[in-house]
Amino acid sequence: MPHIVVKNYKEFSLPAKSGEYEFLWMAQPLINAKSKLVAVRWKGREFLLEIKRKEDYYIIKSDKITRVSPNYIIKEALKNFCQLAQCEVLYDNLAALKKGHSRKSEEFFKEIDFFIKDFPTDKEIWIEIGFGSGRHLLYQASWHPETLFIGIEIHKPSIEQVLKQIAIKKLKNVYVIDYDARVFLEFVPSNSVAKIFVHFPVPWDKKPHRRVISKSFIQEVKRVLKPGGVLELRTDSRLYFDYAFDLFLQEKRVKLEVTKNIEPVISSKYEDRWIRLGKDIYDIRMQALELSPPLQNSFDFRWQNLHYKEALIEAIDTKPKVYEDFFVHFERVYKIEEKKYLIEVSFGSFDRPEHTYILLSQDGARYFPINPIPSQANIKSHKKIEELLNG
């Protein structure tokens, strides 16, 4: 992760601007917190920098919850902050920032809001979940220029590498998103996708609840695929194959194709390794057979009656609160100024929790930096949070 190690720095008046970056406010640790947080805005995108005190130096880096991609956005934010703060730099891991491939491919990296607000439907859509090195994604995009590809990955170095390759290959038909694929599918319109690839997912033999393939995942896939559309699972794990095949067979009406050790059009570096080791490779293809009803998924996350009250801050309980199918956990509290606070909170599904902040002032409250996604667990959590904070 990009960071700067400094012996000291000077706090400066906020808000302030340096280059394309606006530094909005600084939040001081109050409850369960140790670091300071600095709010940053770049081209309308908001995120936080963290200033962490060590024995005789400070580490300045991106806050994990609000971290943005590509990495150069963070690197330049750190450099601009240190210019304003007159940092005494001891060390940094920031590479020279030139107008390179990450910037050229910036338009192809998308946030979840892009898909929730205006999911692209003007082209045939193929989705790859967990694209890794990107070999398969980039190959397919090169050979099918009229198809729009959506690559989903949570491993940030893989994202950075694929964005560079998109620029090098001059591709115009790939969107990349850093997100949990299981949640992403909840916001894909019904009957809108032609193919979904899940190649060599992590088997999670000891934590099966973390597997991508599940009964609920299969239901979402059947909804988003067009009639005739295909989900393709490719794995080197016999345990994962057996587990997934059993789930597919539990569906009441489904068309399946199973193959073994069939040479793919392009192989990943992992597959090359498995083949050298003599491992078997299994494929399951599930074809959608029916039209699904339209997607119904929207919610207004504005707070109805939540604003700063002194008693509210004093009463915040940082113990997790667990309900039947969701949870709420107020983790840390920061003070920005009098009657303005930042509350770090996690909530929602036990398997796919939301991590975010609530910016609270006399004028009201809002999620920072963006609203949660409107999943059912998040909607229930939002209502409970307002109830808890209002007493």
pLDDT of the residue at 270: 76
Distances (CA, A) of 234 to 237, 259, 284: 9, 10, 7
- The tokens 């896939």 sit on which residue? 221
Q: Does 99 have pLDDT greater than 50?
A: no
Whole-structure pTM value: 0.70
Domain ranges of the chain: 3-92, 101-287, 310-389
Q: What is the Cα–Cα distance from 318 to 9, expressed in whole angstroms?
A: 31
Phi (first) and psi of residue 296, to 5 degrees: -125, 100
Q: Does 207 have pLDDT greater than 70?
A: yes
- List of residues 6+ apart from 282 with CB closer than 8 A: 234, 235, 236, 238, 241, 258, 259, 260
Average pLDDT for residues 69-76, to the nearest whole number? 87
pLDDT of the residue at 13: 97
* Average pLDDT across the chain, whole number: 92
Q: What is the Cα–Cα distance from 284 to 109, expressed in whole angstroms?
A: 29
What is the tens place of the pLDDT at every residue in 123-171? 999 999 999 999 999 999 999 999 999 999 988 889 989 999 999 999 9
The CATH classification number of 101-287 equals 3.40.50.150
pLDDT of the residue at 97: 47
Structural Rg of the chain based on CA atoms: 23
pLDDT of the residue at 96: 52
Strand-pairing partners, residue 59, are 5, 52
Distances (CA, A) of 10 to 58, 63, 142, 177: 12, 20, 49, 36
Torsion of CA 73, 79, 82, 84, to 10 degrees: -80
